[in-house]
Amino acid sequence: MSLWGGRFAEETDRLMREFSSSIQIDSKMWAVDLKVSTAHTRMLAAQGILSAADGEKIVAGLEEIGAEIASGKWKFNPEAEDIHGEIEGRLFEKIGDAAKRMHTARSRNDQVVTDTRLYLKEHVEVLIDGIKELQQDLLLHAESHRETLLPGMTHLQHAQPVSLAHHLLAYFWMFQRDSARLQESLPRILSLPLGAAALAGTGFPLDRQRVARDLQFLEVAPNSLDAVSDRDFVIEFLANASICMMHLSRLCEELILWSAPEFAFIELGDAVTTGSSIMPQKKNPDAAELIRGRVGRVYGALMGSLTMMKALPLSYNRDMQEDKVHLFSGLETVTASVKLMSLMFKNIQWKTDNMAQALRGDFSNATDLADDLVEKGKTFREAHHIVGQLVQWCIKNGKILEDLSVEDLKAGGDPAFDKISAAKLAHKTVMAARRSEGGTSPEAVQLQLEKAKKVL
């Protein structure tokens, strides 16, 4: 039985039925739909809108349907209009006429968005847990690499040495903000639309606060038109997910580069790499590439949902059925990507000798030489120029900064250089010198690690 057939004399065209059906997408929400219907029914019964007997029958029937779906005993008709109608139809088969009272003082418009909010809340919590686990993985590696040298880059050119711990912790903080954004969005997700009915509220004496408490929403949506017709919580989630994917993609890019033989800073384990069907020697960082590639899905979902909502008049429009296509695509992609990234960090081997080797002769200790001249009385601009010329001198003479003798420093650079200057050139010393709060020295990183553990 359709939910709305009375007004119609003829059948809906098959093409229209197929185009309009959303059950393939919204059947994911069966469990929250049962919870929402149960809370609604209990409230109706408590308010005397339904008889206690009908209320009990409905609640028991919904519970049975939940068990049937979970065990696979009952399967939805894949051609049905949506999950909400399917469940109501099944309830009628089980308990008869009482089922027809469940939809009192409710519309699919407030039902569907209540389901979506509840579903999103449950899955945002799972995503936050996934991000926490990834942060834990990063912390674990950072703890054992406070002294491991890595070329710090700008423009993908060697800039100044940093520790591997410092580099990994940079991502820790990105993910910390991602998880904070998701956490902060929860109160906006948990605003209860149910009770808005189709758009204008209802004449039945509802207790919306009770339903909110029952479903653990934090407030009752204050305007019925807004309640049924806004989807900003979907857009906000997809924006947050997009930012998180952007962060993941940067980390992916580095893992891909670092796996290349030209870097050879890491080897990803067999569990997260794949081979080639033709080249027997290959071991490819596909996991990182796949995540990087899937960023497009999430950005696409964000753009899709923004576009879907643009210029829609109040209140509900069927366009909005598309919200779940975008939401679920973004949600599943970001959640799986975070998990896979975490798995990569459980299957990573650091080639720390290659990192150190890459630093040799890279001039990433030049800033320290300029700083040394400043300490000896030069202005920074003068010092910068002198060291720039010294680098040129080294390149011309086939020398590298860390091997220069005091005589070399004087000849190619400035007479003011001395033993103290030469002693500053080891990359380890360069890294250790950056003791400012938030800097890369092992002591500063230790403080950062402690801060990171505290926020986690």
Instruction: Verify whether residue 107 is a known catalytic residue.
Output: no
In angstroms, give the least distance from the CB of 252 to ligand ARG: 34
State how far the alpha carbon of 99 is from the alpha carbons of 82, 112, 297, in Å: 17, 18, 40
Cβ(134)–Cβ(342) under 8 Å? Answer: yes
Nearer to ligand ARG, 232 or 403 (CB): 232
Among candidate residues 107, 93, 105, 33, the one with its CA nearest the CA of residue 61: 93
Least separation in angstroms between residue 303's CB and ligand ARG is 20
Q: What minimum distance in Å lies between the beta carbon of 25 and ligand ARG?
A: 8
Supply the minimum distance, in Å, between the C-beta of residue 104 and ligand ARG: 17
Q: Extract long-range pairs of 9-17: CB within 8 Å, 24+ residues apart.
A: 17/79, 17/81
Please state, in angstroms and as integers, the Cα–Cα distance from residue 229 to each residue in 121, 187, 200, following that order.
18, 18, 11
Q: Considering beta carbons, is residue 179 or 315 the nearer one to ligand ARG? A: 315
- Give the CB-nearest residue to ligand ARG: 321
Q: How far apart are CA 6 and CA 13, in angstroms?
A: 16
- Using the minimum distance from each CB to ligand ARG, give the nearer residue, 3 or 67: 3
- Confirm whether 276 is a catalytic residue: yes
Tokens of 241: 């997910």
Closest CA to 153 of 134, 142, 167, 169: 167
Cα angle 158-159-165, degrees, rounded to a multiple of 5 = 90
CB of residue 217 to ligand ARG, shortest distance in Å = 19
Q: Spell out where 286-390 has E strands.
A: 348-350
CA dist., res. 379 & res. 3, Å (int): 81
Residue 383 carries which side chain, given as an amino acid letter?
A: A
Q: Smaller CB distance to ligand ARG: residue 112 or 386?
A: 112
List 71, 155, 277, 436, catalytic entry: 155
- Distance in Å, CB of 354 to ligand ARG, minimum: 53
**Reduced to 3 states, what is the DSSP secondary structure of residue 261?**
coil
The CA-based angle 335-338-340, given to 5 degrees, is 110
Residues that bind ligand ARG (CB under 6 A): 22, 26, 82, 108-109, 112, 316, 318, 320-321
Residue 316 or 417: the one with the smaller Cβ distance to ligand ARG is 316
From the candidates 51, 144, 276, 405, which is the catalytic residue?
276
Nearer to ligand ARG, 174 or 320 (CB): 320
Active site residues: 155, 276
